[in-house]
Structure 1
Amino acid sequence: MIDHVLAINRADITVHQGNYQTWQTAHDQQAAYEQQQNQQLKGDIKRLTKTAQQKAQWSHEAEKGKNAVSVKTESANLDKGFISHRAAKVMKRATTIANRAEEAIETKQQLFKNVEIAAPLTINQRPLKPGQNVLSVDELVLQQDGVILNQPLSFTLEAGQQVALTGINGAGKSTLIKALLALPATDHIASGSLHLNPHLTLSYLPQDFDQLSGSLADFAAAKQVDHEQLLSMLRKLGFDRDLFTHRLETMSMGQKRKAALVRSLCEEADCYLWDEPLNYLDVITREQVQTLIAEQRPTLLFIEHDVDFVNAIATQTYALQPQH
């Protein structure tokens, strides 16, 4: 559909002629090159730092030795002058080497100014027995304010499955999740049945999150998740450390969405209910989430309009058909 990609990077903006795959190929090639350069820079920095430390230590020992009293006065004065001159030269060289190390570090930082943090994510899921029943839906018809939303729907969710709910807006996808959260008593069910294993703990990621406010520490405490783990996961999603002191209400929608997503990942749960988890997320983060689900395979019931994401991770897909 597209013939150009405008990439908003950390330090600049680039334009790529071609489709998404063209950009992805160029992005991967640049990342591989910078990783290679990074390894070489790390080696150079380590070598330069070690040399600088050795030279500084030699200079320090030489300065102490110039006051030696075990030699004749005339020789001592001569040696003191020579050693002092030699020590000054070595100290100057050590300073130069140290500066080179600092410059190398600065070069490294500049080289990686556009590299995204893409460390593997983790999810705090509890292990369930394979095939254990989590959710059963039988001929379920949902309603909102007395209005019937969908045609009868039936499906099951078992441990380790990732079930996607699809359908047009207003077909009842979010209402189904709200009905699950309201069990056993809910006014969202017009007919049919909805059975959730009562012994399981759920983690719910709502579609609406723009009302988040307060500090990240307060947010973690209110949601009963570990604050340090929350910050660590946010770093993996590209959060700069200076954002850790910002209040949630001052953050962008993408930053708020990451905070809400990380909160769910940090929650200890048997089953995860996610309502449009990719909204406002950048491409890098979307790929991180997709990789996490594909590798960890948490028990997941989710709603998402991104067809590629659904096709990549869903073990089953069920469409809610509108009543009319």
Structure 2
Amino acid sequence: MGMISLRNAGHRAGDLLFSNLNLVIAEGDRVGLVAPNGRGKTTLLRAMAGLSELTEGEIARSRGLAMGYVPQEVPGNALSQTLTAFVGSALDAATQDAESWRVDVVLDELSIPLEFREKPLGELSGGWQRMALLARAWVTQPDALLMDEPTNHLDLGRIMMLEEWLSYAARTLPVVIASHDRAFLDATTNRTLFLRPSEQVYLPLAYSAARAELDQIDAATEAQRERDLKQAAQLRKQAAKLTNIGINSGSDLLTVKSKQLRDRAEKIETQVHEVHRDRTGLVRLGNSGAEAKVMMAFENVPIATPDGRPLFTVDKLHIFQGDRIVLLGRNGTGKSQFMRVVTDALAGSVPAGLRISPQLAPGYLDQALAWLPLDPSPLDYILHRFDEGDRRTIALLAGAGFPPDRQGKPIRTMSLGQRARLALLALRLQQPNFYLLDEPTNHLDIPGQEQLEDDIREQGATSILVTHDRAFLKAIGTRYLLIERKKLVEVDGPDRFFSEMAA
């Protein structure tokens, strides 16, 4: 029976990431690992895989347990390898010679097209690189599977394929999945570990049900904390009253009783549990507003590939102020090209048939964060792009999760999650009233996703969104446009499209 056991596990990397972690992950346990960016998910997965050590406690594995680990990125020195060679490199030389067929079997199992198999990884998209990482872990025939952000860069079809594959291929294995994709966690896990600096919460539920239970636990802890602090305050008030009476009357007994009350209050205060709150630095977006009713209007606007091949035509579409439009469609149907036409139009290259309100103030967030420079520091970037002044810029960056000692480091040294927060801050300072969002949640943790959802809904900004994040698009969408059979049609919601993708 395959098993991973953690005892008093914890890790410090300057700050305390997590501690007091005690649990056993056995066959059939599919654990969702949830925490904000930078709070130790990758550290814990690597330690489980035997690739690094924790600073506290111990990790034990069943004798001979073979671990399959799927990291977030392909190593830089492997990008020149073909996909097939990269997958095969997980096998020792003897196995490669005797059982090279195993590579083809796994590539077929994961439906990786033949035309990609002999291409260098560096020429493939992030999604196909992610599938190569999974294939490399699976070709070793592991007894346990550890996956770090497996849905990043995958389109919706691939995510659903991965969900189905996990349901049968890894059904009996111990599986641990670190992910910010809430719908994926709900579909693939039956347990959830909320990783926290002190008390860990491990619940035998998939993410959404576990999150609801966790909110109740935190609310109960907060209520108990308030009761305890109120009781301690009453004891101190009584102690002070007895002290005054004792001094005035000269009663030593009252003085002793007063000290006993203060000691009881102090004991209660030291045992009070702080309620955990995720503090990753959240950026609140706004809406600069507009009086125009129609922000953008299409009439017979052709959408084509960059080389001119026609995809579909937007016959007639009005985007009204406050609309939050979600664009749906299979890969290759033209979602990216539609977004390109809109982006180019907002930059001044407006095609015939497209009208844009002069009141429209655009803000753009794309999955690659390609417009974000890498050489300057966050402080230099915000200072030189926006007229906010030194002190306010430092405060804004601190509020976004960048303490002063990290504000001067080059952006290229930051994680993708940190870059996403910086991009959101820049987006906020642009003061847009129209958001163009292309896979905006790719590098955001769950608190960041929820904050973005709340901001877009509450501020009422007009939005066009392309995303594979089902929870996110359901949370903010008010209109849904589907590209199918070379037409753009409005549908009531995304569920039919999801069902067709899963079929």
Conserved? CA contact 2:295–2:356, under 8 Å? yes
Larger Rg: 1
TM-score (norm 2): 0.46
Matched, 1:276 2:439: yes
CA distance in 2, matches of 1:279, 1:28: 25
Q: What residue is the counterpart of 2:340 in the other structure?
A: 178
1:25 and 1:243, CA in 2 relative to 1: closer, same or farther beyond 3 A? farther
User: 2:357 corresponds to which residue?
Assistant: 197
Contact 2:311 2:486 in 1 (8 A): yes
Instruction: Pick closer, same or farther for the CA change 1:31–1:180 going to 2, 3 Å.
Output: same
> Corresponding residue for 2:51?
none
Give, as a single letter, the amino acid of the residue that structure 2 aligns with 1:230: L
Q: Which runs of 5+ in 1 are unaligned?
A: 59-85
Q: CA–CA distance in 2 between the matches of 1:299 and 1:289? A: 14
1:179-205 residue CA offsets vs partner (Å, 9 max, x unmatched): 333337549x6xx63221234221111
Equivalent residue in structure 2 for 1:15, among 194, 202, 224: 202
1:304 lines up with 2:467 in the alignment? yes
Q: SS of the counterpart of 2:436?
A: strand
1:139 aligned residue (277, 288, 300) = 300
Q: Are 2:281 and 1:123 equivalent residues in the alignment?
A: no
* Moved >6 Å (runs of 4+): 44-52, 118-121
Between the aligned partners of 1:18 and 1:180, the Cα distance in structure 2 is 42
CA separation of 1:151 and 1:9: change in aligned 2, threshold 3 A: same
* Cα shift readout 1:87-132 (whole Å, capped 9, x = no counterpart): xx99xx7xx97x949x94x766x633x4324999643312222x61
| TM-fit CA distance, 1:265 | 2.7
Residue of structure 2 equivalent to 1:26:
213
Question: Judging changes above 3 Å, is the alpha-carbon distance between structure 1 residues 185 and 294 closer, same or farther for their aligned structure 2 residues?
Answer: closer
Matches within 5 A, 1:161-172: 161-172=323-334
Name which structure has the greater RCO, CA cutoff 8 Å, separation 6+. Answer: 1
**Residue 282 of structure 2 contacts residue 448 of structure 2 at CA under 8 Å; is this kept in 1?**
no
TM-score (norm 1): 0.68
Question: Secondary structure of the equivalent of 2:453?
Answer: helix
Q: Is the 8 A contact 2:364 2:435 kept in 1?
A: yes
Identity %: 20
2:366 alignment partner AA = P
- The answer (yes or no) to whether the contact 1:200–1:271 under 8 Å persists in 2 is yes
Report the CA distance shift for 1:118/1:128 in structure 2 as closer, same or farther (over 3 A): farther
| CA drift at 1:32 | 0.5
1:291 aligns with 2:427: no
Distance 1:212 1:5 in 2: 40
Q: What CA distance in whole angstroms lies between the structure 1 residues aligned with 2:430 and 2:286?
A: 6
Letter in 1 for 2:397: L
In structure 1, C-alpha distance between the alignment counterparts of 2:271 and 2:373, rounded to whole Å: 38
Instruction: Give the one of 398, 413, 435 matched to 1:250.
Output: 413
1:290 CA displacement: 1.7
Q: Secondary structure at the match of 1:166?
A: strand
**Residue aligned with 1:151, SS:** strand
The residue that corresponds to 2:192 in the other structure is 6
- Residue aligned with 1:111, SS: coil
Task: Give the number of equivalent residue pairs.
Answer: 281
Deviation at 1:28, TM superposition (A): 0.8
How far the C-alpha of 1:291 sits from its partner, in A, is 2.2
Cα distance in 1 between the residues matched to 2:430 and 2:317: 26
Q: Higher helix share goes to which structure? A: 1
Deviations 1:292-314 (A, max 9, x none): 22222212222222233223322
Q: Is the deviation greater in 119-128 or in 257-266?
A: 119-128
Measured on the aligned residues, the alpha-carbon RMSD in Å equals 4.2
1:227-246 paired onto structure 2 within 5 Å: 227=393, 230-231=396-397, 233-234=399-400, 239=401, 241=403, 244-245=406-407
Relative to structure 1, is the Cα distance of residues 118 and 27 closer, same or farther in structure 2, using a 3 angstrom cutoff? Answer: farther
The 1-side partners of 2:405 and 2:466 are apart by 29
Distance 1:165 1:117 in 2: 32
Q: Is this contact kept in 2: 1:202–1:272, CA < 8 A?
A: yes
Shift of residue 282 of structure 1?
Answer: 2.0
**SS at the partner of 2:444?**
coil
Cα 1:4–1:198 change in 2 (3 A) is same
Distance 1:25 1:148 in 2: 48
One-letter identity of the residue aligned with 1:4:
N
Alignment map for 1:34-183 (pairs within 5 Å): 34-40=221-227, 43=230, 100=266, 104=269, 111-112=274-275, 114-117=276-279, 122-129=284-291, 132-148=293-309, 150-153=311-314, 154-183=316-345
State the one-letter code of the partner of 2:339: I
Assess, with a 3 A threshold, how the Cα gap between structure 1 residues 207 and 2 changes in structure 2: closer, same or farther: closer
Distance 1:14 1:48, change over 3 A: same
SS of the residue aligned with 2:353? strand
SS of the residue aligned with 2:454?
helix
Per-residue Cα deviation, 1:190-245 (whole angstroms, up to 9, x for no partner) = xx6322123422111122127653333223224416625633652xxxx3747754
